[in-house]
Amino acid sequence: MKRLSTIVILLCSALIAGAQPDTLRVLAVGNSFSRDAVEQNLHELGAADGLVIIVGNMYIPGCSLERHYSNAVDNVPDYEYCKISADGRRTVRPRTELAYALADEPWDFVTFQQVSHDSGRYETFVPYLPYLLDFARKIVPEKTKFCWHQTWAYDSDIVRDTFVIYDRDQTKMYNDIAEASRKVCDRYGLKLIPAGTAIQNLRKTVFGRNSITRDGYHMNNTLGRYAVACTWYEALAGRSVEGNDYAVPFMYDAQIPAAQKCAHLAVVRPFEVTNPGMDNPPANYDVAKIPSYTLPDPLTFANGKKVRNARQWMKRRRSELLSAFETEMYGRAPGRPEKLHFRLLRENKDAFGGLAVAKEVGIYFSDDESQYIRLLVLTPRDANGPVPAFLGVNFQGNHAITTDEWVSMIGPDEYSRYGRYTEYPRGNNARRWPIELILSRGYGVATFYRGDIDPDWDDSFTNGVHKLFYKKGQSYPEPDEWGTIAAWAWGLSRALDYLENDPDVDGSKVAVIGHSRLGKAALWAGATDQRFAMVVSNCSGCGGAAISRRAFGETVRTINNQFPHWFCGNFYKYSDNEAALPFDQHELLALIAPRPLCVASATEDLWADPEGQKIAAEEAVKVYRFLGYEGMVQYHTREGGHDIVAYDWNYYLDFADQKLSHFSVTK
């Protein structure tokens, strides 16, 4: 009997424990860095693990310990107090005092931190931190444990004065932060949340290599914020975060275990960087190891029926294929914005030593002119009328494509709209843009910087054009909506919208051109916008002209790992799963038909799979032929590496001489 009642009691207490999950109460006294850490994901990580986490964040932008201290002394109601309650609801209470938040809940943990640029300088913590600890101790219950939020180092290429403290060196900044956090925890008996170490670990992986911040110092809304929350979770809940199955919206699945592992390793080894060994799998360059594959037939409908004639291709099959590429790979982009408008910003009728008429044109997408393309348009000065032209995005800024002093430099005022910008010297990329050659052959050149449309790192689409087109309440593209490559392509179409109105350019004879990632964008622009009269793909490789199923050199897995922002969310499911793709890249090339198309490789550019690009071009030719066109696809291979040089341009110019006139698109 005694035994039975013991079992009953045990059962009852188990039931009660089951009905009332553990609750953890965490208050951060911080700034935007604590906002990155706790205002999303932390509660959800707990929920996925049977733990209720009540979160508070006392937020003032850029707030230092010194300011927290004076706020405490004077009881200043300067904080925005964000609270996530037990049921996950988020409320924001403006004009709040520190004392209010400290008394608001029986907090298990209260965390402090220093403003990011001083977070590696222990000498700036005192005397403010000890005062704040005394102040808080008088308000919070005895059980409350005080913690130190170790913030993270900046991206190495940010332009910010305070970075000078660390000689603009990320490693130095991290080491100083780690050391200062060790000291402060030892001295004041604080519990450490090693977010800075977790981020540094993540930067050693392929997922973090290409930046995990949205502006060089704040975490991006996906991987960065998630990794920091994982660190908080493991440090405070005392449970391993590895294997937690909270599915962060819009995050690439493969990033989740990486963030968890980096957070876990940071909690285990909080003051040193641990390389979690999560690099891309080694690339295959062995022809014998190319998987056996069957290429989908562009001339067969998805339902298995054959395309019978050119009309069926142009009217039905082409759009079927285009929409598959759109929803599964590049993402749907908006059309031409209603409020699109242009402004001639500068003009020089005697530029480039008398060779060119040069213009800089602003292309604006709405009444808000803060986001715009600065299009550089160069046309031969001695032209008798509108000329055919090459249009392409550039990597480093318009000023980098030429040494000509007239072209505007990207200045510090503009850095803020890119979030982050690496300064490139004037003419740095001129090798790739043989302007004089192009002009002397009777063609114009138009180009803009990639960051004008979307800066090229995974900032969770906070910089760039995406946000201009969100529906109400939307904060991230849906899985079938445009990534960065589709955005660049969209920008190329907007530039064409302008060129159609430029008196010096024949808008019906514009060839869209791009190298590498910008070659991917040129191909997608050519596929989606049939006004482009010719398309040039130079070493565009994976996600461009190379056959995905060959998995030779760069693969879908490696490109998604390193550049999760390039394609749409649906494309993630084809990592290591190329056979499931409803298309392959020869069909992207076929979407250009029957317009002239150039595809080029370089012998040493194995990463971009020269053979795969050649096969794609050959396969696309079959569609051209089906439509009754011969000789419209040109393929060349250059000796050498991943680049575009005058040698390549000569091929494109020769082909344009022969073919571009063929495909005049009438206005």
Q: What angle do CA 192, 193, 194 make, to 5 degrees?
A: 100
Q: Does 516 bind ligand GTR (CB under 6 A)?
A: yes
Contact in structure between 98 and 71 (CB atoms under 8 Å): yes
* Crossing angle for the helix pair 195-202 and 223-237, to the nearest 10 degrees: 140
Size of the site for ligand GTR (CB under 6 A): 6
CB of 488 or CB of 624, closer to ligand GTR:
488
Contact in structure between 496 and 565 (CB atoms under 8 Å): no
Can you tell me which of 68, 203, 450, 517 binds ligand GTR, judged by CB under 6 A?
517
CB of 375 or CB of 542, closer to ligand GTR:
542
DSSP-assigned letter for residue 419: S
* Crossing angle for the helix pair 484-499 and 517-528, to the nearest 10 degrees: 60
Rounded to a whole number of angstroms, the minimum distance from the CB of residue 107 to ligand GTR is 46
CB of 136 or CB of 617, closer to ligand GTR:
617
Helix, strand, coil percent values for the chain (each to nearest 5): 40, 20, 40
Q: Does 117 bind ligand GTR (CB under 6 A)?
A: no
Q: What angle do CA 541, 544, 550 make, to 5 degrees?
A: 60
DSSP-assigned letter for residue 573: G
CB of 516 or CB of 548, closer to ligand GTR:
516
CA distances from 457 to 408, 484, 486, 659 (A): 24, 9, 14, 36
CB of 45 or CB of 542, closer to ligand GTR:
542
**AA letter at 487:** A
Token pair listed for 198: 């977790």
CB of 298 or CB of 543, closer to ligand GTR:
543
Rounded to a whole number of angstroms, the minimum distance from the CB of residue 185 to ligand GTR is 39
**Other beta carbons less than 10 A from residue 41's beta carbon:** 24
Rounded to a whole number of angstroms, the minimum distance from the CB of residue 420 to ligand GTR is 18
Contact in structure between 601 and 613 (CB atoms under 8 Å): yes
Kindly name the residue from 575, 642, 661, 662 that is annotated as catalytic.
Answer: 642
Token pair listed for 299: 């001339």
Q: Does 486 bind ligand GTR (CB under 6 A)?
A: no
Q: Binding string, 555-594, against ligand GTR, x = CB under 6 A?
A: ----x-----------------------------------
CB of 494 or CB of 517, closer to ligand GTR:
517
CB of 113 or CB of 540, closer to ligand GTR:
540
Rounded to a whole number of angstroms, the minimum distance from the CB of residue 395 to ligand GTR is 8
User: What's the CA gap between 165 and 106, in Å, rounded?
Assistant: 38
Name the one residue in this structure whose structure tokens are 């959800």: 44
Rounded to a whole number of angstroms, the minimum distance from the CB of residue 641 to ligand GTR is 11
462, burial (CB in 10 Å: exposed 0-12, middle 13-18, buried 19+): middle
Can you tell me which of 184, 351, 499, 542 binds ligand GTR, judged by CB under 6 A?
542
User: What's the CA gap between 347 and 361, in Å, rounded?
Assistant: 9
Q: Does 554 bind ligand GTR (CB under 6 A)?
A: yes
Rounded to a whole number of angstroms, the minimum distance from the CB of residue 658 to ligand GTR is 28
Q: Does 541 bind ligand GTR (CB under 6 A)?
A: yes
Active site residue 516: yes
Kindly name the residue from 116, 119, 211, 516 that is annotated as catalytic.
Answer: 516
Rounded to a whole number of angstroms, the minimum distance from the CB of residue 540 to ligand GTR is 7
Q: Please report which helix (H) or strand (E) contains residue 110, including its range.
A: strand 109-112
Active site residue 117: no
Rounded to a whole number of angstroms, the minimum distance from the CB of residue 556 to ligand GTR is 11
Contact in structure between 545 and 343 (CB atoms under 8 Å): no
CB of 327 or CB of 516, closer to ligand GTR:
516
Q: Does 456 bind ligand GTR (CB under 6 A)?
A: no
Rounded to a whole number of angstroms, the minimum distance from the CB of residue 450 to ligand GTR is 10
Q: Please report which helix (H) or strand (E) contains residue 47, including its range.
A: helix 42-47
User: What's the CA gap between 601 and 656, in Å, rounded?
Assistant: 18
Contact in structure between 242 and 260 (CB atoms under 8 Å): yes
Contact in structure between 548 and 574 (CB atoms under 8 Å): yes
The catalytic residues are 516, 642
Residues lying near ligand GTR in the complex (CB under 6 A): 516-517, 541-542, 554, 559
